[in-house]
Structure 1
Amino acid sequence: MASLFKWMVRGVSAVLVLAVLALAFVYYLASRSLPDYEAERSVIGLEAPVEIVRDNHDVPHIFGKTDNDVYFALGYAHAQDRLWQMVTMRRTVQGRLSEMFGERTLKTDELMRRLDLYRLAQASVEAQDDATKAALTAYARGVNAWLDRVNDEALGRGAPEFFLFDNAISPWVPADSIAILKLMGVQLAGHIEEEVLRARVSLSLDEDRVADILPDMPGSGVAALPDYASLFPDRPDATQFAAYDDSPEDALLYPAADRGLGGASNAWAAAPDRSAAGGTLLANDPHLGFSAPTIWYLARLELASGAVIGGTLPGVPAVLLGRSADFAWGLTSSYLDDQDVFIEKVNPENPAEVMTPLGYQPLTQRSSIIRVKDAAPVTINLQWSDNGPIIPGKHYNLASVTPPGHVASLGWTLLAGNDRSMTAAMKLMQAKSVVQGIEAGRDFVAPSQNVTMIDRDTIALKTIGAMPRRDADHMTFGRLPAPGWREENRWVGREAYAANPQFVSPSGGIVGNTNNKLLERPFPLHVSYDWGDSQRIQRWEFLMQNREVHTRESFIEAQLDIVSPTARNLLPLVGADLWFTGEAAPEGTPDRKRQQALDLLANWNGEMNEHLPEPLIYMAWMRALQNRLIRDEMGPLATVFHHVEPIFIERVYRDVDGASVWCDVVQSAPTETCTEIAREALDDALLWIDEHYGSSYESLRWGDAHEATHDHQVLGDLPVLKWFVNIRQSTSGGDNTLLRGKTSGRDPDPFLNVHGAGYRGVYDFADPDSSLFITSTGQSGHFLSRHYDDLGDLWRRGEYVPMSLDPDLARAASVGTTVLTPAGPQN
């Protein structure tokens, strides 16, 4: 017996030793790809030595004798820290993910092939000006110099992920950078989803009720839209359209965001006479889906035009938002309507033809082969009409609005082969004044952005990006999919750049944008009917006008503001008849629980603080309320409304145009009141909270439900590995606060924070080197690096790091200096 026990101990010990050795070996392989920042390397492609000085936050400050050498070094630094991210984004836009991930990404690859973005990027290289082409070439050489070193010195394949997905990495080329910029356009777009949803809702509800659930932003209204089914008289029966499918997108790395999770951002600026220190001010925090690492990478470039510092996108040789010594700029999604869905009538005698104003015409066609790991290749037939690429119904839920005998095509300014957006981005980075910044945007095509900019004296906001020129007689104003064979629905080029909104030196001395409605102009110069915000703008206006003059600190305070104007508006309205109920109900009863929750909300000021219980009660209540209001009228289509629609609820409880009819449950005999529905929804919410977080309401924490989900996009769902690669943080804010933390809206964790400010910057030209910035994770994409998440803790606490152009400050506390020297002539 003793002998058996002894052998068991030896066996277990051996297994443990082998496990430790295996882990040590895995760690050794993974750590091989951690870059050594304190190094001197000879590389081919440089004209002169260049330095990459990384400050104590791992922000590279790049010094070289020529601009091309600086771009080379930026490519080198991007590849050192974000190679996996760059390769994944490139494969996404190429439609080649399935070569690495198998059938999980087949749907993603198919969509990207049909959009044909990579071929369009290749065609756009020659459209750039000479300086931009040289920068793209130099940047590609820098990326490839790091790839060569990884291969020559066996540096762990460049990133730990490549041990799991060991496909060869092809050299970087200039078209790759343009393609990644186009990929951002796909991720920021949202008008196609709005068109499809509006069409589907119009098939289910009458016109007044469509205006309730999909209301126009405050301002002048629009002419009534046609009933969607009536656009196709051959198929007037709504039941002949496919069912709407709102199941979560299961394709890995699918680039199209859920409704409400496309582009969003904040930016505001103050003129010298509204600044306490007499210098212009600018704050900017662009919002994107969270990931680990974040999409942004901080960098400083020392160019011939002067030093520039800010946020870069790995794969792109430009600072896309930031500042120089005399000019600063920030980006917000403009929501310019640059997409239209066209319904094409197929020739029943020849499915390769569709109807046009000139009769049936052939589609342009090309076959494309998608190679799939561990499966047979898939061949798809790519087709284009005059209006754009044909998109199958499984994408964007187009099947639900495409009648039999028709297909859907997509018109989009992004789908251009002479796209000079990269040139515009490079010119904007090198601008020295607001005048030059506005002029730089002339070449920009997509994704359309609002650029808030300042120089030493002037503030401005300019919308950049191509605006489609539509016919004034367009059947749907671009708000619904339209018959593609009708001449009046077709685009007729682009509007002039001067037609894009522009605000320079406003009399109030403040300019800003929270994705709110910018202006009211008649169609077709309307810019958009669908905007990204109707709530944050209320709080922003209050904070800006509440002070006669502003400081860097007041701009930071606004950027981090967590008061929800939506909560302040809706709670008194929805709970008007619930707050005072007479005597206290018996302990433990639903009435008592409701009273406890209402008591908490009655004393709450609307702050979405992570440590408070009230935000969770409020959000659960409004979510349950909206579900009760729309579920019976809309059926399965109600599931697409993941987030609370504040204007809808306000319309219902103010009975705007008879909207209180939503409170009545259609299937029941009694006529329910809005007060009854509010009470029942609160009970629903409290039951849900009891099941998920417990019944002690005072001890609830909003942050427990509202964790920021900086998850690895590929490894984030894998057991064990997810604990190493995902970054989860308790956060304040919510859907409608300036410190925006957009919730997922999907069960089982509907309040996870999935979309927000991955970058924040505040620039003060009274003292430029006191400017600040931060990202939401860290500079490195390597999960074994201490710089993988070191900025994330600061970001969560609302802290920033210095944004200085002082080279001595960068060198004083650097974590390493990489010196690259020429090894030979350029190729």
Structure 2
Amino acid sequence: MKSPGNLTVLGKIVRPLMWIGGLALVICLVSTMAYLYSAQTSPSGKRVIKGLGDSVVITFDDADIPHIKANSPTDAVFALGYLHASERSWQLEMNRRLASGRLSEILGNDTVSIDRFIRTLGIKRAAERQFDRYPVAAKRLLQAYADGVNTGNAHLGWALPVEYFLTGSKPGHWSPTDSVAWMLMMAYDLGGNWQKELQRLELSQFLTTKQVWEITPPYDAGEPVSNLDFAKIYQDLKVFNPKPGPAEDKSKKLPSTELTSIPLPGGKDGVGSNNWVLSGKLTTSGKPLLANDPHLGLSAPAIWYFAHLNAPGLDVIGATLPGIPAVVLGRTDKLAWSFTNTGPDVQDLYIEQIDPSNPGMYRGPDGYLPFKVHQEIIDIKGSPSLNFLVKETRHGPVISDSYARAKRSIDTSRFALALRWTALDLENQSVVGLLDINRAKDLDTLKEALHKNYAPMQNVVMADLEGNIAYQAAGVAPKRVLHQGLYGVAPALGWDKQYDWNGYVPFNQLPSSNNPEQGWIATANQKIIAVNDPNPLTGDWEMPTRYDRIVQLIKARNSHDANDMKTMQADTLSLGATPLLSLFKASQSSHKLAPQALEISKTFDGDMKVDSAGALIFNAWADQLTRNLFSRLGYLFTENYGSRHFRNSLFLALQNPASPWCDNPKTNAVESCSDASNNAFDQALDYLSSQYGNDPKSWAWGKAHIAISEHRPLSKVPLLGEYFNIKTPFPGDGFSINVGRPELLKSSNPYETIQAPSLRTIYDFSDLEKSLFIYQTGQSGWVQSKLYRNMNPLWAKSEYLPLQMKPENTKRQLELTIK
């Protein structure tokens, strides 16, 4: 028993500690309250601004869309930059640092590999060279936007978005070339053909060319665009790393969003978009209907920010990209336009042979040439700076020094891999094209502006109040001739002139259409060939499942209205699933849950509804079946399964019930595809019961298929990630119109999705003020704001908000004044 004296001593120690703890708690609470009070999460009132030509009035409607009323286009884009900084400051900072290869300055060693690769590509250097060639008028607009961003960041004061405090950083200076660099990053995200080439190179070390085509099938099965035996070429040259193996692991702390991880953006199957337009002959109003839903990575906040810009010669509303001073997807009061990714092959890898007697030289067509070399220095938070050399050949930057998979694939003592990419060309002025699109008065001037779009090439579907509908593929792509050379499907030999590019496809030869007789136009990343040119723009189109379903739904009715457009965008029937249903339903299993699961499976029709147990069982079965057939490829499967869905490969293999791919190499027996299916069903039930319980009737696709808008870079940080990420059950799969591509082996939950409709828009030309939009987060980038995630429930249920130039209500007003 303690004496009273001991208790007195203890009290003397404890009481001060309690006071200190209480005082610390009070300070913490006061600081938090002061921060929440000071943080300008919904700017309003009057701000005095230096650098404006005249005052700008910004009103915010019920959907929180800002309507910028300015007396000049430069003041309008200044105000847009100001809003981007006010609402999305951290997002802008991450965009700027990513495109410049400067993430590691605030995030440390985890992002060094990203920075090194971006520096190797030379994104910021290319942007600076391209900007030098921009017209003076465009330079002024980009400078005005940059001034707006920097002013907006300065006006945030001390109460910055919390991400800055967590990383110990502050907003950096935004320059006009940062906008050009961010456009290049968007082009990179939408142009990953080189990674498919790299995959074919990797497979060629272990497989024949015929087998490689079975793993990476051509768009038209059995009809590859190149007839060359590329695997034999590589094997004869002994280009491969004599000790291949898995590439280095990426940090588990980083999100796997489209622009912040290694593997880098681009190169993912199913990353694309839908758009379609109906002429008045197919609508109840007699006026066109235009729909668009781009499928990009889900991030929090979203990559989009909606705004309305109004100034003399400028009146446009729609989706902007923080970092770029223009409406990228949207409408005026007379016309509207929409994008999907054309997906041309604008990136080629070249195997460069190093001079054995001088590693500073590489083999050219007429002898050895010196590498162009320059030094890069990456400053790393908490570590010494990294100094390294970037080499370039006549084709472009050498990526095998900085990209782990490329370095792993070849014998780097004898060869290097260089990347040729259109977007890095000096002539690229895509941001100028966007600025011109925003000022288009009619479809003719819109099409004229599209001539300036360089990269990424886009399928532009458009319409106007006169009732016209049109399509134009806009961008540059190298000329290729079917069945000549490698056609860009696999790395070419850098010293052989026959593989060099021979100019670009002229704009007037790109696919286009004006008021087609059928009364509709649709694109969904499917194969597109110009009438006057039989040579496709790539050998690696996306599967046509979404396009085919869009066409089915258009043809299912003689007349459509806006509600039908909503229904189409929400459609979740998967034509990537329906060809497998007969095998799926014929599966046999001795699993204890098999009777219930098989009964549910009998009625499954391929519709990936959020509450469907059949959809969950099917996807788990298809997943396990794919793993059964292709996991024998080892790390070449596990590293790719996720960025590649292998569904085409599965279709091809299952055409032969006795396909050798269905045989399990680990057993003495010879298994058929039916045996592989049965085994996959058993494995699926094992997995599902372990994750979702032993009652198949309670299973639902939405319990597994969670759409996650990931925050950069906090999404994988315990506790913080849950606060900053936005999650919701979601329907669809990687092949439905309402797409939700599962992550598969890229995640601990293989069926979660971070690739889905990044926005949806519908333009009704019977009254353009009836136009609609939605995306998956909210307008605000401040995590504590209710506008950070307010759209998410609507988006998940395919509901919409009005996209109006003349809204009835105003929630708040912000005036930027010169005095």
TM-score interval (norm. to shorter): over 0.9
User: Aligned equivalents of 1:521 and 1:394: distance in 2?
Assistant: 41
Q: Which residue of 2 aligns with 1:108?
A: 114
Corresponding position: 1:572 with 2:582: yes
Match of 1:795 in 2: 795
Q: Say if 2:522 is the partner of 1:485.
A: no
The structural deviation recorded for 1:294 is 0.6
* 1:677-696 matched pairs, under 5 angstroms: 677-696=676-695
Q: Report the counterpart of residue 758 of structure 1 in structure 2.
A: 758
Q: Which of 217, 220, 235 is the equivalent residue of 1:218?
A: 220
- Percentage of identical aligned residues: 30
Contact 1:471/1:488 (CA < 8 Å) preserved in 2?
no
Query: Corresponding residue for 1:410?
Result: 419
**Residue identity in the other structure for 2:165:** F
Return 5+ residue gaps in structure 2 as ranges. Answer: 255-259
Deviations 1:742-779 (A, max 9, x none): 11112421011111112110001111101000121011
Alignment-derived partner of residue 144 in structure 1? 150
Distance 2:525 2:97 in 1: 30
- 1:647 corresponds to which residue? 648
For residues 701-727 of structure 1, the C-alpha deviation after alignment (integer angstroms, 9 at most, x for no partner) is 211211111121112222332232111
Q: CA deviation at 1:471?
A: 6.9
Partner of 1:227: 229
Of the structure 1 ranges 285-294 and 134-143, higher mean CA displacement relative to structure 2 is found in 134-143
Residue 703 of structure 1 aligns with an amino acid whose one-letter code is: G
In the TM superposition, residue 519 of structure 1 has moved relative to its aligned partner by 2.8
Which of residues 439, 450, 460 is equivalent to 2:459?
450
What SS does the corresponding residue of 2:274 show, helix, strand or coil? strand
CA distance in structure 1 between the aligned counterparts of 2:137 and 2:646, rounded to whole angstroms: 47
Q: Counterpart amino acid of 1:818?
A: L
C-alpha spacing 1:735/1:270, structure 2 compared with 1 (3 Å): same
1:194 to 181, 196, 209: 196
What is the aligned partner in structure 2 of residue 206 from structure 1? 208
* In structure 2, distance between residues paired with 1:544 and 1:248: 44
Shift of 1:575: 3.5
Equivalent residue letter for 2:224 = V
Matching of residues 372-521 of structure 1 within 5 Å: 372-392=380-400, 395=403, 397-404=405-412, 405-456=414-465, 457-470=467-480, 475-519=485-529
Equivalent residue of 1:688, what SS?
helix
Counterpart contact for 2:314–2:438, Cα < 8 Å: no
SS at match of 1:753: coil
| Letter of the structure 1 residue corresponding to residue 103 of structure 2 | L
Which is further off, 441-450 or 406-415? 441-450
Pair 1:525-2:535 in alignment:
yes
Task: Give the alignment of 1:332-351 within 5 angstroms.
Answer: 332-351=340-359
Which amino acid in the other structure matches residue 648 of structure 2? I
| Alpha carbons 2:240, 2:410 under 8 Å: kept | no
More divergent stretch after superposition (695-704 vs 207-216): 207-216
The answer to whether the 8 A contact 1:95-1:108 is kept is: yes
Distance 1:693 1:435, change over 3 A: same
Q: Is the 8 A contact 1:343 1:409 kept in 2?
A: yes
Q: Does 1:768 align with 2:765?
A: no
Question: Which letter maps to 2:573?
Answer: V
Do the aligned residues in 1 keep the contact of 2:270 with 2:735 (CA within 8 Å)?
no
How far apart, in 1, do the equivalents of 2:178 and 2:241 lie?
A: 44
**1:327 pairs with 2:335:** yes
Bigger drift between 316-325 and 47-56 goes to 47-56
Residue 583 of structure 1: aligned partner: none
- Local SS of the residue matching 1:230: helix
Please give the secondary structure, in 2, of the residue aligned with 1:409.
Answer: strand
Using the TM superposition, give the Cα deviation of residue 605 of structure 1 relative to its aligned residue in structure 2, in angstroms: 2.8
In the superposition, relative to structure 1, how do residues 97 and 292 fare at CA in structure 2: closer, same or farther (>3 Å)? same
Question: Which region of structure 1 is more displaced relative to structure 2, 289-298 or 786-795?
Answer: 786-795
TM-score by length of 2: 0.93
Asked if 1 retains the 8 angstrom alpha-carbon contact of 2:583 and 2:677, the reply is no
1:372 shift after superposition: 1.1
SS in 2 for 1:148: helix
Corresponding letter in the other structure for 1:54: F
Shift of 1:659: 7.1
Contact 1:203–1:227 under 8 Å retained in 2: no
- Which SS does the other structure have where 2:435 is aligned? helix
Deviation at 1:528, TM superposition (A): 0.9
Structure 1 Cα separation of the partners of residues 59 and 818 of structure 2: 18
8 Å contact from structure 1 (residues 601, 618) kept in 2: yes
Question: Using a 3 Å threshold, how does the CA distance of structure 1 residues 396 and 510 change in structure 2: closer, same or farther?
Answer: farther
SS of the residue corresponding to residue 438 of structure 1 reads helix
| CA distance in structure 1 between the aligned counterparts of 2:522 and 2:678, rounded to whole angstroms | 39
2-structure distance, mates of 1:667, 1:522: 52
Equivalent position SS for 1:437: helix
Q: 1:301 to 1:384 in 2, by over 3 A?
A: same
| 1:538 counterpart SS class | helix
Q: Which moved more, 1:484-493 or 1:33-42?
A: 33-42
Candidates 796, 810, 813, aligned match of 1:813 = 810
User: Which aligned pairs between 1:27-46 and structure 2 lie closer than 5 A?
Assistant: 27-29=33-35, 32-46=38-52
How far 1:599 sits from its partner (Å)? 1.1
Find the counterpart in structure 1 of residue 299 from structure 2: 291
Residue 129 (structure 2) aligns with: 123
Distance 2:326 2:303 in 1: 14
Cα distance in 1 between the residues matched to 2:468 and 2:766: 13
Amino acid of the residue matched to residue 478 of structure 1?
Answer: G
Moved more, 639-648 or 598-607: 639-648
CA distance in 2 between partners of 1:781 and 1:543 (Å): 36
Counterpart secondary structure, 1:403:
coil
Which range moves more in the overlay, 14-23 or 534-543?
14-23
Cα distance, 1:162 vs. partner?
Answer: 1.4
> Closer, same or farther in 2 for the Cα pair 1:485/1:23, shift >3 Å?
farther
Residue identity matched to 1:817: Q
Query: Deviation of residue 21 (structure 1)?
Result: 3.8
Asked whether the 8 Å contact 2:610–2:731 carries over to 1, the reply is yes
Distance in structure 1 (CA, Å) of the matches to 2:483 and 2:383 = 49
Match of 1:19 among 14, 18, 25: 25
Which runs of 5 or more structure 1 residues have no equivalent in the other structure? 579-588
| Structure 1 residues 23 and 348, CA gap change in structure 2 (3 angstroms) | farther
SS at match of 2:139: helix
- Checking the alignment, whether the CA contact within 8 Å between 1:229 and 1:237 is kept in structure 2 is no
2-side partners of 1:764 and 1:517: how far apart?
A: 28
Q: CA deviation at 1:169?
A: 3.4
- Compared CA separation, residues 36 and 203, structure 1 to 2 (3 A): closer
CA contact (8 A) 1:287 1:756 kept: yes
Give the drift of 1:511. Answer: 0.6
Aligned to 2:257: none
The C-alpha deviation readout for 1:379-421, integer Å capped at 9, x for no partner, is 1111111000111255272134423400010000011233210
* Deviation for aligned residue 1:327: 1.0
Deviation at 1:526, TM superposition (A): 1.9
Q: How far apart are the structure 1 equivalents of 2:386 and 2:253?
A: 16
Cα deviation for residue 17 of structure 1 reads: 6.2
2: CA distance between counterparts of 1:275 and 1:418?
A: 41
Cα distance change on mapping 1:26 and 1:186 into 2, 3 Å: farther
Report whether the alignment pairs 1:242 with 2:241: no
Q: Contact 2:47 / 2:815 at 8 angstroms: preserved in 1?
A: yes
- 8 Å CA contact 1:470–1:489 kept in 2: the answer is no
Give the match's secondary structure for 2:741.
strand
Tell me how many residue pairs correspond in the alignment: 802
Counterpart of 1:98 in structure 2 is: 104
Query: Aligned letter for 2:719?
Result: V
Amino acid aligned to 1:187: D
User: TM-score scaled to structure 1, two decimals?
Assistant: 0.92
CA RMSD of aligned residues (A): 2.5
Deviation of 1:473 after TM superposition, in Å, equals 8.0
Q: Structure 1's 337 and 224: CA in aligned 2 closer, same or farther, altered over 3 A?
A: closer
Equivalent position of 1:582 in the other structure: none
**Would you say the 8 A contact 1:40–1:820 is kept in 2?**
yes
Give, as a single letter, the amino acid of the residue that structure 2 aligns with 1:573. Answer: L
2: CA distance, partners of 1:717 / 1:19: 28
Describe the SS at the equivalent of 1:566: coil
Q: Secondary structure at the match of 1:469?
A: coil
Is the aligned partner of 1:273 residue 2:281? yes
1:54–1:60: 8 Å Cα contact kept in structure 2? Answer: yes
